[in-house]
Amino acid sequence: MKASIPSGSFPAIVSCGLLTVVLSLFTSNRLGAAEIELTLQTRDAATGRIVLNQEKVDPKRVGVIAVDVWNFHWCKTATMRVDAIVPRMNKALDAARELGMTVMLCPSDVVDNYVGYPQREMIFALPKVVVPTVMNVTCPPVPDAGGCACGRERCAVNYGWDGMHPALRIADADLMPDTQAEVYSICKMYGLTHLIYVGFHTQVCLLGKPMGLKAMKSAGLNCVLARDMTDAHPGYDPSRNFTPDLNTEQVVEHFEKHLAPTISFQDELTKQGKWDRNWVVDPVRITPWGTPMRPHLFEQPITVTLTTPLQPGAEIRYTLDGTQPTASSMLYTKPFIIAETTHLRAAAFRDGRSVCLESEGSFARMGPMPPSPDVFIGNLKPIRNVGFGHTYGGQVRYSGNTRPPQKDKSNLGQELKINRQVYQHGMGVHAPCALMYEIKPEYKRFVALVGADENLVSISNGSNLAKHPSVVFKVFIDGKEAAASPVMRVLSPAWRFDVEIPPDARTISLAAMGAGDGSREDFADWANAGFITKR
């Protein structure tokens, strides 16, 4: 973990001297390795029968390509499934480096966020070579389940990722190519004949990207898929027992039939003494997988599935009250229903010993849709109005690119928009922000629909930005919290407030707060917000 370079901390300058040092490190790591023997698994295209073959290869002639190990995905479950494999991937890439293999990290469409990294800059010093077409690689259509593993309450597409997973270790001698020509140039310069692919999402990115398996196989490289370090573009339908794990199995089998052999990277490294089977690196996988920072919001009861695909036979134990699971907690035997707001925690054991990292899932059930208010807050004058900026003597100096709360518009003057729906009435703010109003005797209830404003998605599908907004909305009556939302994210369903106002209450404060991860892009909307005057 200490060797990782967090997303967002990109250095500005790379010297020629540093490039030379890195190339020297890269070359020295490639000397003196013995041959290894890979167990390659394919399948008969007609029957699906597994066929095993052995192939010896000098690890100095092997490249490992990690594709799209992103820090975010528009599907919250897909995001967490990447998170689940990164600890395992780190172990494998460290071992590959020790064996003298070349590690290439390829985040495709966000690769240029790594300008200034020597691992990226050295690519442009490589000699240019012509990429041959050695074979025409074709195959039947690959199973694609749609990309969202959250079931009935599907996530909406946006391009919020802005880098690789922050826990993914980046070594000095790693390389960051992006195109077929760049990868081929690396292969020619360092004599690589075999490429092992790890990463996401198998049937889309590992297959179709310019540095992907199909492109490099067509150029004559021996391409192999690590079946234990990949995850498909997922889907989930518990009514027919279709899970993201099953989806990945089907895609891997398709590769084995029509595209390339696979290996268990763990097994191969175990044979080389580079993998300890007692390592605990795999979390219990949850579907759908909401987290406290990106909860799964639902209206109707949902079916939750727990799995440990890389720890067969493990006992999954879980709790539904937020307490730590132990070897004596509830035993998972089949998918179960969650009907109310729940904090799930799960772990896995074998003979009483922990074999999986603990996982947590956050699920928040939304209340009934509130009626439209009789009095909109936009038509009232707040008695307190503070927002994102600096306050001096009661006067707010708003931060750049933010404004005071805006009536019937987003904070930047656009439509009020939450989860693809436009609202005519409300207030657009930037968190942190508080609006306080005097409560009149006729006000019986406060109602509102709230969420992260999603206008940023209208530009390039929110590229690099949609991951950032995270807002918590709270309602205080006479200084006491009366209601609160979970963390709201871009394109989450609008959270519903319907708060009864006690007799003789004097003030109501509407707070939009950051969720604890910074305030970048925390534009927030109080839509259809106001008061009901009749009980």
CATH architecture, range 375-532:
Sandwich (2.60)
Please name the helix (run of DSSP H) or strand (run of DSSP E) that holds residue 252, with its range, or none: helix 244-258
Q: Which residue in 337, 335, 297 sits closest to 316, CA to CA?
A: 335
Domain ranges of the chain: 16-279, 292-365, 375-532
Peptide bond into 210 cis (omega under 30): no
Q: Could you tell me what percent of the chain has a pLDDT over 90? A: 90
Q: Are 104 and 174 in contact (CB under 8 A)?
A: yes
**C-alpha separations of 336 from 78, 301, 303, 319, 485 in Å:** 20, 10, 6, 12, 25
Q: How confident is the model at residue 96 (pLDDT cuts 50, 70, 90)?
A: very high
Helix segments in 172-223, DSSP class H:
180-190, 207-208, 213-218
Q: Are 301 and 288 in contact (CB under 8 A)?
A: no
Asked if the model's pLDDT at residue 12 lies above 60, the reply is no
CATH topology of domain 16-279: Rossmann fold (3.40.50)
Q: How far is CA 246 from the centre of its chain?
A: 20
CATH architecture, range 292-365:
Sandwich (2.60)
Q: Using one digit for the tens of pLDDT, what is the confidence trace for 505-515?
A: 999 999 999 99
Q: How confident is the model at residue 153 (pLDDT cuts 50, 70, 90)?
A: confident
**DSSP assignment string, 282-337:** -BPEEES--BTTB-EEESS-EEEEEE-TTSTTPEEEEESBSPPP-TTSEEP-S-EE
Q: Could you tell me what percent of the chain has a pLDDT over 70? A: 94
How far is residue 81's CA from residue 176's CA, in Å, rounded to a whole number? 23
Q: Using one digit for the tens of pLDDT, what is the confidence trace for 459-506?
A: 999 999 999 999 999 999 999 999 999 999 999 999 999 999 999 999
Amino acid at 115: V
Asked if the model's pLDDT at residue 341 lies above 90, the reply is yes
Q: What's the chain's average pLDDT?
A: 93
Q: Using one digit for the tens of pLDDT, what is the confidence trace for 420-454?
A: 999 999 999 999 999 999 999 999 999 999 999 99
* Residue 152: per-residue pLDDT: 86
Q: Are 122 and 178 in contact (CB under 8 A)?
A: no
Rounded to an integer, the average pLDDT of 194-202 is 97
- Tell me which residue has tokens 């990115």: 205
Asked if the model's pLDDT at residue 345 lies above 90, the reply is yes
